[in-house]
A and B are shown apart, each in its own frame.
Chain A
């Protein structure tokens, strides 16, 4: 009988890390406050106790050094899983990501590799300042050599981390802080999932909504709203930013003829642009309306909830955009 548990997203992360430490040789887990404290959000709870300080350890506030350490140790036999507490902090260590981790396999002609995982979490929450609310997938997506996944459910998080840990590529697991408390069924002994692949979460015929990360919540809610108004939207969770599964999206759009893309990151230069460009190319002539994007504002995110409310995609705005494509 499959081992199924009802877990919160953050608990699922914890289980996946535990699985990694138990199952994948030479896995180590490090970051800030991940050992004795068990992680600022509890992702690494009890791992230090159960696997010891050699495998699970705390580090100084030195993200550049520890992402570099992740790379160097991955090149030489370990399988590090590093935690960047908020995705915003990645920018202090961006050189190690863009100029080092992403490059080494290619520039060594495949002789070195970087089998490492960087976990982080992103998104805005009420009162969070502009330095704690970035959504960073587009910066990563534009950096060839990286794999990037944005899980949206406990099961997705569990599987994404396991897939990432056994991968020989550097993988960013970009979790969502707002989704951490959400519960769902997790099959702990599930087969590993292959890397990549979008998922049709809500099948529909009239229009396609694609989202990822926190924004999926709003997208699904928009789907419900639309259903109540007689519009049958297909909602797709993009899941993996890299590798990118354009097929699933394009297949959906080929069917519906309409596409709304939603994400929390600013619209300009966001990954929605890439996706729109790709689908625009693939589905040329089959689109019945322009592809619409519903995104975070082109501004640093404000902290006050009164401003945040209009700064990020809501179900209303996504549903509105779909209705607009329907009347186009």
Chain B
């Protein structure tokens, strides 16, 4: 049998259970303020929100929009697992990950990650860690559309070694 997802916490995490909807995909604009508000807690002193937005220019290449798709069913399970792992590992009060799918024009957000913790360092560390995990392994892809309307799927790096052995 395949082993659990390498990035997901396997079963009984010591932290709180993932809340339904804390990790999800949306097909329209992301409401960052609502996501940050959802992780607020009386025990929290540090609250961090990251928004990843479509950048109009990289080096000398113009981007018009990004178009995201995901293996949603698998990705949501992975996001929930990452959230549970972050809650336990960083001692978070709250955590949420929202990714937008479809077309995201310049300046709009494709991802929001929010984390709250008793102290600032854990909130920052968890948010950065979650973002790196999402970028490394969660099945989401972007297609870049440049200024001339040319579309290119972005497949950097190598996932070949990621699977657990049978």
Does A pair with B?
no
Give A residues with C-beta under 8 Å from B.
none
Give B residues with C-beta under 8 Å from A.
none
